[in-house]
């Protein structure tokens, strides 16, 4: 890894914890040449390329794959319980798959802090899940498995329609709030001996509601969705959920990622418009790429929306260490 990418990688980690993206201090010579060439490119030709892209049909390849996986995983939990086949028992926060314990990493942390000791089954279940998401990419859990993520994505579409009609405005919130939320819930578990976050986690509430039936806790989930529709798009996932931060840390070491290639990028910005966490795509802004190829940071959910949207294939899935792109 070049020194430019190392510096960029450190910046991406800081951004994950809430710092706002910054312009790069140093850019590699090959990337500088491309930036200069792009500034000299005929603007009319660039605009024509952007218009051609806007006229093409929408592609939803990765979105459809993601929705399918998310629905199948959650349906599997539900059917296993209702049909009493005992293949997958429990919910997303803690379960057993054919006898193997599986425990959500953030839930495991909350339990260990609350009980102030390590349980053997907890270690086994946590280790299994940790290895899984180390391979697949940490925050892939958010966009490929979490049921609240899907509802929030649909709520976001309603919010954007209301914004377009000028009925509401989108309010940004300081992203450092998510790191503060992680710390507060960890301290609450340590101080009270109770996993406070699990009581309000929309991920856990929805997972249990799908499996065991609805309860009053769904009113909290509804309140979150109403807030996101009328005030701030995807507020819980972007600004509050400690689960996302926990899996983002795992994503630092994950080989599956999205890679940005500078050369053919139009910088039209459509990828950032559809991105669920647009701060991770700061590198696609004209003049920001520190090298000709830049991996997107660990806070990326690997949802694939940017890959579907990019008109030139400048954003693609990649397995680190393998040259072949997915």
What is the spatial distance between Cα 231 and Cα 229, in angstroms, rounded to a whole number?
Answer: 6
Q: At what angle do helices 218-230 and 147-164 cross, to 10 degrees?
A: 30
Question: pLDDT by residue (tens digit) across 129-163?
Answer: 999 999 998 899 999 999 999 999 999 999 999 99
Whole-angstrom Cα distance, residue 111 to residue 67? Answer: 30
DSSP secondary structure code for residue 263 in this structure: T
Identify which of 83, 107, 113, 110 has the alpha carbon closest to the alpha carbon of residue 95: 107
Residue 325 has pLDDT above 60, yes or no: no
pLDDT above 90 for 51: no
pLDDT of residue 43: 62
Q: Which two tokens stand for residue 220?
A: 């909290």
At which residue do the structure tokens 């996932």 appear? 237
Percent of the chain with pLDDT over 70: 93
Q: Tell me how far CA of residue 212 lies from CA of 54, 77, 120, 200, 205, in angstroms.
A: 45, 10, 27, 17, 10
Q: CA 95, 97, 99 angle in degrees (round to 5)? A: 100
pLDDT of res. 120? 74
Share in percent of the chain as helix, strand, coil (round to 5): 60, 10, 35
For 258, the enclosing helix (H) or strand (E) is strand 256-261
Mean pLDDT, the chain, whole residue set? 89
Q: What pLDDT was estimated at residue 55?
A: 56
Would you say residue 224 has pLDDT above 60?
A: yes
Q: Length of the chain in residues, anyone?
A: 326
pLDDT at 71: 96
Quote the CA–CA distance of 58 and 252 in Å, as a whole number: 31
pLDDT of 190 over the 70 cut: yes
Predicted TM-score of the model (pTM): 0.90
Enter the DSSP assignment of 316.
Answer: E
Q: What's the pLDDT score for residue 173?
A: 94
Which residues are bridge partners to 103 per DSSP?
A: 94
Q: Which residue has the tokens 């030709």?
A: 45
Which among 197, 207, 314, 299 has a CA at the least distance from the CA of 257? 299
Residues 317 and 256: their CA atoms lie apart, in Å, by 7
* Cα(154)–Cα(271) distance, integer angstroms: 18
Retrieve residue 183's tokens.
């710390």
Asked if residue 296 has pLDDT above 60, the reply is: yes
Spatial separation of the C-alpha atoms in residues 130 and 187, rounded to whole Å: 22
pLDDT in tens, 84-118: 888 888 999 988 888 788 899 999 999 889 988 77
Burial 7-30 (b: 16+ CB within 10 A, else e): ebbebbbebbebeebeebeebbee
According to the model, what pLDDT value does residue 85 have?
85
| Between residues 315 and 47, the one the model is more confident about | 315
Please give the average per-residue pLDDT across 50-73, as a whole number. Answer: 81
Handedness of CA 284, 288, 293, 296 (dihedral sign): negative
């Amino acid at each position: 890894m070049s020194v430019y990418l190392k510096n960029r990688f450190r910046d991406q980690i800081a951004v994950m914890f809430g710092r706002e993206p910054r312009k790069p201090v140093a850019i590699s010579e090959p990337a500088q040449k491309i930036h200069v060439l792009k500034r000299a490119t005929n603007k009319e030709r660039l605009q024509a390329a952007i218009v051609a892209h806007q006229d093409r049909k929408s592609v939803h390849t990765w979105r459809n794959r993601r929705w399918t996986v998310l629905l199948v995983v959650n349906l599997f939990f539900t059917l296993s319980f209702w049909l009493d086949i005992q293949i997958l028992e429990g919910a997303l926060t803690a379960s057993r798959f054919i006898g193997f314990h599986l425990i959500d990493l953030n839930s495991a942390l909350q339990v260990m802090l609350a009980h102030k000791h390590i349980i053997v089954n907890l270690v086994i279940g946590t280790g299994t899940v940790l290895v899984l998401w180390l391979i697949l990419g940490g925050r892939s859990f958010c966009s490929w498995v979490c049921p609240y993520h899907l509802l929030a994505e649909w709520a976001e579409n309603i919010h954007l329609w209301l914004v377009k009609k000028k009925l509401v405005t989108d309010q940004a919130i300081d992203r450092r709030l998510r790191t503060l939320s992680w710390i507060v819930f960890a301290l609450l578990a340590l101080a009270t001996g109770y996993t406070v976050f699990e009581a309000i986690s929309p991920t856990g509430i929805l997972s249990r509601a799908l499996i065991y039936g609805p309860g009053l806790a769904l009113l909290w989930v509804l309140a979150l969705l109403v807030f996101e529709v009328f005030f701030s798009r995807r507020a819980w996932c972007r600004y509050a959920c400690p689960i996302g931060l926990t899996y983002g840390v795992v994503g630092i070491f994950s080989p599956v990622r999205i890679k940005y290639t500078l050369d053919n990028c139009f910088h039209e910005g459509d990828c950032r418009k559809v991105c669920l966490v647009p701060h991770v795509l700061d590198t696609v802004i004209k003049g920001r790429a520190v090298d000709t190829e830049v991996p997107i940071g660990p806070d990326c959910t690997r949802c694939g929306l940017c890959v579907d949207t990019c008109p030139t294939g400048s954003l693609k899935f990649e397995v680190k260490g393998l040259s072949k792109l997915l």
